Amino acid sequence: MSRTTFVSALFSAFILAALAQSSSAQQAAPPVPAAKPELKVFDPSLIDTSVDPCENFYRFSCNGWFQRNPLPPDHAEYGRFTELFELNRLHLRRILEQAAVPSPTRTPNEQKIGDEYTSCMDAAEIDKQGLAPIQPELDRIASLQSIDQLPALLGHLHTLGVDAFFGLGAGQDFANSSAMISFYSAGGLGLPERDYYTRTDPKSVEQRRQYVDHVHNIFVLAGEPDAQAQKDAATVLEIEMRLAKASLTITELRDPKNIDHPTTLAAFGQELTHFSLPQYIAAAHAPASGKMNDNEPKFFAEFNAVVAGTPIDQIRTYLRWHLLHDYAGTAMPQSFDHETWHFYAHILNGAEVEQDRWKRCTSRVDREMGEALGQVYVAKYFPPEAKKQALDMTLAIEQAMEKDIDSLDWMSPATKVQAKAKLHAVMNKIGYPDKWRDYSKLTIVRGDDLGNAERASQFEFARDMAKIGKPVDKNEWEMSPPTVNAYYDPQMNNVNFPAGYFQPPFFSPKEDDAANYGDMGSTIGHELTHGFDDEGRQYDKDGNLKDWWTKDDEDRFNQKAECVVKQYDALEPVPGVHLNGKLTLGENLADIGGTWLAWMAWQEQAALHHVDMKAKMDGYTPDQRFWIAYAQQWCTQTRPEQLRTQAQTDPHAPDEYRTNSVLQDLPDFAKSFSCKKTSKMVSADVCRVW
């Protein structure tokens, strides 16, 4: 789990929102279910001893979990991450339901999160209001009479979070990580990513047809006659096809050099001969001058051509679609909500049943006001001692990486000095921000669900624009405290571990170091290794895109990395669909390197505490418990449709390969289970960089 580029971050946010779509006729949530039995980091009951660990360690470690946890119909995938995510969501629900009760003693933040949750849950009122709340924006689009009016309209729509044509955000200057500048990026697609528009295999062709049907259905729900909706849906696909073909591929986006195109707003505006950048900037309340980054010059050249050559009625159609598309979730009538779920969650990813509304409303509040909600969450569920334990483990793994760098036989002393300087500069962020986000300028009105969504988007967009030209805030977080995830930020050079992650089944102070280092330790090592993967290694210790490698060391790195690319290219999670070794390279390097660092750090801890390496607990030695705990974090049930989507769009390999393929590249694993050289879990061609 790592920080992506600005473009990829927009795509990731879109996918998360799309998969969350569903509808529910209920107005009140069902009673909170009783908590499940306590989750464990190392759980011997999940092990299937009928499977040879040297043949398929994933099945050996996880078959018991699979038998106990059939895939729920409202999920495209369900794993141990989902277990904790759902537990956290129950915690957040209790917080929100308490905050939803009107009281003069509620804090301003409690009023906001409580009233937004209540408004989101009132599906009957949302249905009753129909399209009236969004009608002013539909009317605004309908009044577009000439292309000269487009910049002002688009600037306004972008403040509302409508991803039409392109994106604008604040980002750190690639050449000077201490400076925040404007980033203009490719956007405007309704399918998950660019290659959905360009692949020619039968399944991709079918998905494009289904997408057109979905767009048609949304237009019909918005009141269009069937024939007009069919024509408009075809128009949307035609415009998006042009934008997609001019965009970088998802693999090309992984290389920061491909999106490093510094210029000035004045020069950029001169290139957009058919689009007034000053008018757009004025409507978006964005910076009007200074340095900026044009992420994809080829895309903006095509955008300029699309604007120049597309009839105004087709531009209106495209904008109307993206407005409806971006709001067709819990803020819109349930007919829109259901149709959106049906395409993105059911057709593309295989979910069979829509998620309960309370789940989606809870996740929405977390997305829109994560630190207001997270502040209450941390006080209840993340004590100071947990933060200290997490920091101690992080420091131990950083020490292991320093030793690992010293031991590398392929890296020269000169590059090792630079690598260790970068390692020593890493900032560790554990649990939650030192300073909480201020939501005082955000207005939440009970009963105005769509208005709340609009104002939340405007608040976030304005907050992002306000960063430009200001000093970089290295203490800012990209994830909310309850999030079950982590990330490395290459321009900040920091690792970030939200409070929500430091719980069973990933970490527990009740369990031994072998289990905790095998599970959470490997995650810490994973994020740390991202600073030295194929993308992260291109940034120096200060977060600048700067080459600090000798040419020979860079060549040796690339040779070793190519071994990993070929290894994962060969994997076929769905018949006819192989993994993309270049797309998944960074995560694969982090999985392999991070697990190795956790193993090194745990070995050090075991020696320090005089652990008896032959003593068995629950039938397994400490080193075996380390590997089993590592594997059990990845126990996941996944639908074939979701596997297809993941293989085509996700930089992470499916969880089975994050177990078996990783451990095949770590010979110490084979030693722990006395695997023969001919065993499937022993690679004949070990691939490892760090």
Tokens linked to 72: 């729920």
Band of residue 38 on the pLDDT scale cut at 50, 70, 90? confident
Q: Which residues contact 31 (CB under 8 A, 6 or more apart)?
A: none
Band of residue 22 on the pLDDT scale cut at 50, 70, 90? very low
Tokens linked to 379: 């006080």
Return phi, psi of residue 501, to 5°.
-85, -30
Nearest to 557 by CA among 583, 538, 577, 576: 538
- In this prediction, residue 37 carries a pLDDT of 62
Return phi, psi of residue 458, to 5°.
-65, -40
Nearest to 38 by CA among 83, 90, 104: 83
For residue 123, pLDDT over 70 is answered with: yes
> Which CATH number is 32-70+382-435+475-672's, of 3.40.50.2300, 3.40.50.2000, 3.30.750.24, 3.40.390.10?
3.40.390.10
Domain with CATH 1.10.1380.10 in the chain: 134-356
Residue type, 446: R
**Mean of pLDDT values over 25-31:** 43
295-349 residue pLDDT tens: 999 999 999 999 999 999 999 999 999 999 999 999 999 999 999 999 999 999 9
Degrees to nearest 5, angle at CA 208 with 202 and 211: 140
Percentage of the chain modeled with pLDDT above 70 = 95
**Mean of pLDDT values over 497-522:** 96
Task: Name the more confident of 13 and 91.
Answer: 91
For residue 415, pLDDT over 80 is answered with: yes
Give residue 350's region: left, alpha or beta (phi > 0; psi -120 to 50). Answer: left
- In this prediction, residue 3 carries a pLDDT of 35
**Mean of pLDDT values over 118-142:** 98
Domain with CATH 3.40.390.10 in the chain: 32-70+382-435+475-672
558-597 residue pLDDT tens: 999 999 999 999 999 999 999 999 999 999 999 999 999 9
418-431 residue pLDDT tens: 999 999 999 999 99
- In this prediction, residue 12 carries a pLDDT of 36
Band of residue 31 on the pLDDT scale cut at 50, 70, 90? low
- Considering the chain, what is the average pLDDT of its residues? 94
For residue 511, pLDDT over 80 is answered with: yes
Tokens linked to 354: 């829509």
Instruction: List Cα–Cα distances, 276 to 23, 163, 187, in angstroms.
Output: 40, 18, 18
Band of residue 459 on the pLDDT scale cut at 50, 70, 90? very high
**Mean of pLDDT values over 525-530:** 98
For residue 103, pLDDT over 90 is answered with: yes
172 - beta bridge partners?
180
- CATH number listed for the domain at residues 134-356: 1.10.1380.10
Pairing of strands 291-294, 77-79: unpaired
